[in-house]
Structure 1
Amino acid sequence: MGKKNPYDFTVIITVAMLVATGIIMVFSSSFSYAMVVLGDGYYFLKRIMIWAVIGTFSMYFCAKVNYWTWKKYANIMLLGSIILLILVLTPLGKEVNGAQRWIGVGSITVMPSEIAKFTAIVFVATSLTRKREDLQKFFQGVVPYLLLAGMFFGFIYAQPDFSTAFVVVIIIISMVFVGGMKLSHFVGLVGAGSVALASMIGYIFIAGKGYKAKRITAFLDPWADPTDSGFQAVQSLLALGSGGIFGRGLGRSVQKHFYLPEPQNDFIFAIIGEELGFIGGVMIILLFMILIWRGIRIAVNAPDFFACLMATGITTMVIVQVVINIAVATSSMPVTGMPLPFISFGGNALVIFMASMGILLNISKHTNMNRS
């Protein structure tokens, strides 16, 4: 394993800044909604604080556990994740806002799709480490991972949750590519995937039925129907635009007062832009860029193949979710539910991301960051 180095302090301080910002912005964006609807303005603050503490312990635990330990539990984790994804589609699943994505009793809930992302990273990294030489063969090496990605996509899309399903597929494909897939196979897959995605979007748009079609038409012109299909996009743009360079000031958002639905979740970046302005939004993006940079550095300089793949999967998960969330908030892509890592309200997501950062820290401890 080589000599151990200090943990990557940049990752620690960046994650701490993002989580602290998330706690502040969740409280600021949710107070009005929580006070009026739930009768407790501190409802979301208290819960995000609890989850942040749990996430901190998870991050600490995973940073202490040798990253090779995860290989022992890869198969069990995959089986458990599949069982949870099946159970969420049964009467045991809890439906919220038309989506059945949670399993739980009372106020304690688990989101299997978040666990699936973490499971996919561990299992694919373990499998590729054992079958690295097979990746040069398309049917023997690549197809099994495509089937795995398709299985995850199918279960999660059925909830329905297209964005998370898409993230899992991107994570798996990126890990297979880094693992040694032929460039020609990768280009072919990207091309086929792009055609399939474009065809699906085109079909939904032409059919013109359901909320998916409305989201596509709203993306093309949100102002055409600002009170219905384009409502979220319009309110998000108004929030970002009214923030200007320096913002209205912390706690002074207007759009969070029942204009932008549940601003503490998927559209929290819009509230950041409104209250902290362009400067605040850029600072958040810079923090994510620093974190992503460190993740890539750790992956490139990883002490072994398994560590490289784990770091690749974790970093890819952060990249894809940040890009999708900010793209949705800025109306650069159709509206879809995707939390902003470390910042949006959501206990399961926060714990998974912080635990993943713990694994990244453990890998950094075995990594010589001065290597080219």
Structure 2
Amino acid sequence: MNFVDKYIKGDKVIWSVVLLLAILSVLAVYSSIVTLAYKYKGGDTMYYLFKHVVILVVGFGLMILAHKVNYKYYSRISQVALYLSIPLLLLTLVTGANINDASRWLVIPVINQTFQTSDLAKLALIMYLARLLSKRQDQIKDFKEAFIPIMIPVMLVCGLILPANFSTAAMLFTTSLIIMFIGRINLKYILSLIGIGVGTLMILLLIGKSNPDLLPRMGTWAKRIETFTGEGSKDANYQAEQAKIAIATGYPFGKGPGGSTQRNFLPHPYSDFIYAIILEEYGLLGGVFVIMLYLILFFRGIKIASKSEQTFGSLLAIGLSFSLVFQAMINMAVAVNLFPVTGQPLPLVSMGGTSIWFTCLAIGIILSVSKTSDSSDLKIKNTANVEI
């Protein structure tokens, strides 16, 4: 308990949710990496399990460090992070590791770990929007003084992510709109930004259709939509069909931990479709439990935002918590065939590398806001007791 009291501050419910998701992650990843292990490591599942556990432990370390920092410092950090992420996104588009016609990764020297630059850009943009909106509350309804400076980084970052990762760009754009709405930006300006975003996407699609070499991912986007709407070929619907089989065979009580059979057929069962494996092994109860954990995380984020004394802290907490839970809901919707395939991992559950670290950093920042709010409440109570 001394360790917890000394090093673990902030919302204890969020810490509990994160711990439960991490435990579930270890169980689900260990069960779903069998095919991957046989393909690349001669069946050595312990290699991937050990790597995943190390990544989670490092992530928890980053979370502890992030929540120790007073959240007000993230206002300045957001500037540096945004200015760093833009050239990194450009570098990724030009020289990034190309997988399935998508240049999303840079390779970190020495440790040889792939790094998805959009993860840094997401975190940086959300923090930067919270900073700008909090600083311009007095002119928040003004088009020139508030809307233009906020619109430019949103369009720039989302535009740089879009060519290689449509789903991430769309999710980040949506999150930005939510933050702007909560930050009291004029609704007609937000609607105009939606129009600009849709118009930009249509132009890119026309360019990609006329010259596929400039936008090679357009074919993948169209294929996924056609598959989802039932217009694609039967072979193209393979992922969704295997996910349905996993869910159906696990209903209602599941096959138990390690009992999945569809892990041998589902593409990326340890990342994109890990929720289908959870439903197969833990049944309906396990699936609902995971949804509840993310909803609790979101509601605690809202509570932290409402208790924060400063606008920056409120926007930071609500923006980051919405971004994480929104991504989780998209991943789970894909697994149950309510949404086209996006390639988004399930935060803190899917096997990953730097994506887990940035998720942990985001949660650490939310906890930093919570810690500061709790400290303020404690001071108020102590002052009240002294006065009495």
Whether TM exceeds 0.5 here: the answer is yes
Match of 1:167 among 171, 177, 180: 171
Match of 1:90, SS? helix
Change (3 A) 1:197 1:332: farther
The equivalent of 1:241 in structure 2 is 248
Alpha-carbon deviations, 1:45-68, whole Å to 9, x = none? 122111111111111001111111
Aligned to 1:247, the other structure's residue is in SS state coil
**Is 1:119 aligned to residue 124 of structure 2?**
yes
> Does the CA-based 8 Å contact 1:328-1:336 persist in structure 2?
yes
Instruction: Tell me the distance in 1 between the aligned counterparts of 2:89 and 2:190.
Output: 28
| TM alignment of 1:51-70, pairs within 5 A | 51-70=55-74
Contact 1:31 1:42 in 2 (8 A): no
Query: Normalising by the residue count of structure 2, what TM-score does the alignment of the two structures yield?
Result: 0.85
1:221 deviates by: 1.8
The structure with the largest alpha-carbon Rg is 2
Maintained 8 Å contact 1:295/1:311:
yes
Q: Is the 8 A contact 1:225 1:231 kept in 2?
A: no
| TM alignment of 1:247-286, pairs within 5 A | 247-257=254-264, 259-286=265-292
- Verify: 1:180 aligned to 2:189, yes or no: no
8 Å CA contact 1:303–1:366 kept in 2: the answer is no
Q: 1:44 to 1:253 in 2, by over 3 A?
A: same
Pair 1:203–1:246, CA change in 2 (3 A): farther
Q: Distance in 2 between matches of 1:189 and 1:244?
A: 43
Counterparts in 2 of 1:174 and 1:111: CA distance versus 1, 3 Å: same
SS of the residue aligned with 1:110? strand
Does the Cα contact within 8 Å between 1:298 and 1:364 map onto a contact in 2? yes
Aligned to 1:218: 227
Alpha-carbon distance in structure 1 between the residues aligned to 2:13 and 2:252: 27
Separation in structure 2 between the aligned mates of residue 220 and residue 367 of structure 1, nearest angstrom: 47
Q: Which residue of 2 aligns with 1:14?
A: 17
CA distance in 1, matches of 2:233, 2:335: 17
Cross-structure match for 1:156: 161
**d(CA) in 2 for partners of 1:6, 1:261:** 39
Indicate the residue corresponding to 1:343 in structure 2: 349
CA spacing shift, 1:297–1:193, aligned 2, 3 Å: farther
Change (3 A) 1:277 1:169: same
The amino acid across from 1:148 in the alignment is P
TM-score, normalised to structure 1, is 0.89
Contact 2:114 2:353 in 1 (8 A): no
The 8 Å contact of residues 272 and 280 in structure 1, kept in 2 or not, is answered as yes
Q: Alpha carbons of 1:198 and 1:234: their partners in 2 closer, same or farther (altered >3 Å)?
A: farther
1-side partners of 2:285 and 2:268: how far apart? 23
Alignment partner of 1:301 is 2:307:
yes
Where structure 2 has 5 or more consecutive residues not aligned to the other structure, the ranges are: 1-7, 211-217, 381-388
| Residues 343 and 188 (structure 1), Cα distance of their counterparts in 2 relative to 1, 3 Å cut | same
User: What one-letter code is carried by the residue in structure 2 that aligns with 1:96?
Assistant: I
Name the CA shift for 1:200/1:284 in 2 (closer, same or farther; >3 Å): farther
- The percentage of counterpart residues that share the same residue type is 33
Supply the distance in 2 between the matched residues of 1:328 and 1:143 (Cα, whole angstroms): 35
Q: Deviations over 1:287-314 (max 9, x none)?
A: 1111111011111221211101110211
Residues 76-104 of structure 1 show CA distances to partners (whole Å, capped at 9, x for unaligned) of 2111111211111223x212233211111
- Conserved? CA contact 1:252–1:275, under 8 Å: yes
Q: How far off its partner does 1:74 sit?
A: 2.4
C-alpha separation between the residues in 2 aligned to 1:53 and 1:111?
19
Match of 2:151 in 1: 146
Gaps of 5+ in 1: none
Task: Work out the CA distance in 2 between the residues paired with 1:301 and 1:255.
Answer: 45
- Aligned partner of 1:129 in structure 2 is 134
Residue pair 1:88, 1:112 contacting (<8 A) in 2 also: yes
Alignment coverage as a number of residue pairs:
360
CA–CA distance in structure 2, aligned partners of residues 336 and 200 of structure 1: 21
SS of match in other structure, 2:284: helix
